[in-house]
Amino acid sequence: MQKPTYQALLRIPSEEHPRILYASGSPAPQGNPRFYKYLWQVFSLQSPWEGGEFFAHAPVLCNADVEKEVQRLVDLNLSCLVYGFRRPRRDPANPWDLTSPRWQGVRFAVSWDEDTDPVVMGGHR
């Protein structure tokens, strides 16, 4: 995984156009949107933190908000590193056994029906 550092961003060849690099996670949400919520953090030269501080303090964005932030950076001609992760949704209709040791300590997202974020591509929020 590419670390979120200013030096890493400056090494990205821009070819006169900003680049959007997915440093971790899938470039787009996949699978059943009712099972997982995809979340994102965006690192750019405007980010006030880098390295581990970035992951600890940078805003965690939903799909709709990451699309807006990436477009804002592109409009400013700034490249960025996008870090994605997913959380299982806490929903009794989902196919996993929440009493299983596998899920101990896992941070869950709200169910799709309770999620207030806008719906984007593929029905994800």
| Mean pLDDT for all residues in the chain | 93
**pLDDT at 16 (0 to 100):** 78
Q: What percentage of the chain reaches a pLDDT higher than 70?
A: 98
Residue 124 domain-assigned? no
Helix, strand and coil in the chain, % to nearest 5: 25, 20, 55
- Specify if 99 maps to a domain: yes
**CA-CA distances (angstroms) from residue 121 to 9, 38, 64, 79, 98?**
28, 12, 9, 23, 28
d(CA 67, CA 92): 30
* Confidence label for 106 from pLDDT (cuts 50, 70 and 90): very high
Helix (H) or strand (E) holding 7: helix 6-10
Distance in angstroms (rounded) separating the CA atoms of residues 67 and 40:
10
Residue 121 has pLDDT above 90, yes or no: no
Residue 93, domain member (yes or no)? yes
Please indicate, yes or no, if residue 123 is contained in any of the structural domains: no
Number of domains in the chain: 1
Q: Is residue 55 part of a domain?
A: yes
Q: Is 125 among the domain residues? A: no
CA pair distance 73, 17, nearest whole angstrom: 11
Domain containing 34 equals 6-117
Whether pLDDT at 14 is above 80: no
Tens digits of residue pLDDT in 55-87: 999 999 999 999 999 999 999 999 999 999 999
Average pLDDT over residues 11-38: 87
Q: What is the pLDDT of residue 116?
A: 97
Residue 122 lies in a domain: no
> Which residues partner with 17 through β-bridges?
none
Asked if the structure places residue 1 within a domain, the reply is: no
- Judge if pTM exceeds 0.75: yes
98 confidence band (pLDDT: 50, 70, 90): confident
Token pair for residue 40?
């994102």
Residues in the chain: 125
